[in-house]
Structure 1
Amino acid sequence: MKKNRIPLILVAVFIGLLLVSNWQTGQALKRERGRNQDISRQLKKQEVTIANAKESSVTDSKSSSTVEKSLTTNNTKDISSNLAAFLQNLYASKNKNLQERYKKISPFLTGDAVNQLKPSGADNSDSQDDGYTPTTIRDIETFNSGDSKNQEAVTFYKMENKVGDTTKEVNMVMRTKLVKSGQEWLISKIEYNTGYEPHGSN
């Protein structure tokens, strides 16, 4: 009987070792699955973080681009508006007195432009209004380029003069330099202001 017990004991021990080994293997697999799940969660978090960062970057880029476009549009509007007002005050006054006319355009000027347009002397002999027919300015169109502080502009417009019963229309082009002063764009230099013949005219 003792001889039969020894193999049975060995078999039992062997089965016990297998069970323990299987249990340990199962625990190891559970821990490995747990680690894999943790890694998977971390990767998903990183993917979400990267996706959010990209979206934020695109949004910031669009926002920055929108701001730049808005500033450029505002500059163009302000410059076009100021140059149109300048031309109206320069030409469309019935006042023939140069000093009085200069007072109307001086708020648009700074730097070299002041010296270019300021009348010499203080001759006030001309009448304030002697029936002088003012020049009509129309079809004003300005193109400008530059940065947030300095701009160059080219302005096309039509100048209409009436002498007696005769009306003469001249196509004009004016090139100016402008600087930002506070919230205003001021003319710092007038490079030229002259008549021209449009393409295709005879």
Structure 2
Amino acid sequence: MIAKLTGTLDETGPDWAVIDVHGVGYLVHCSARTLDALGIAGDKVTVHTDLQVSENDMRLIGFASAAERAWFRLLTAVQGVGSKVALAILSALSAEELQRACSGGDAAMVARAQGVGPKLAGRIVNELKDKAGALPGGSGAAGAAPLPAGSASADAVSALENLGFKPAIASAAVAHAMGELGDGAPLDDLVRLALRKAAG
């Protein structure tokens, strides 16, 4: 499965982008937030991806962050939420806003997304309420500020959680690593130092 693409942004449309990776153009469907984050044609970009396969279609969905992709996968697991509705929700709400809406039971916030009625919004909030705190974009360590979606820090927290660390521990370790390395630290360095902090 294709998990990530790094290449040149070739062109964009209302809900898609073409990313040129060594001469191969990948059509990637994206939320409005991800399209904004990608920039303009000619920019070097990296997108996290999810491959959606159905009986008569195969499409690659792209995300500016691992946090957004994690939320997409959770959303599409809810009955009645397909990839288009999930992308509409992720266009209307950031990962942090979605986390707050689900953990706080705020269906009206989710219903702001195009094509999402009150009934579906209620089902999404009810089904994802218990899972919201464990995802990137969650509140993490007590008193810690939520990490911006798409940032190296949010991706580092996601990486640590994938390795089995609890969200609070992952967030705290990344916050300490950010303090030592500074805001512009490369993701690899951030993950390496955060791992040492979390394991210690």
TM range (shorter): under 0.3
- The answer to which structure has the higher strand fraction is 1
- The answer to which structure has the higher helix fraction is 1
Normalised TM-score (structure 1): 0.23
Normalised TM-score (structure 2): 0.23
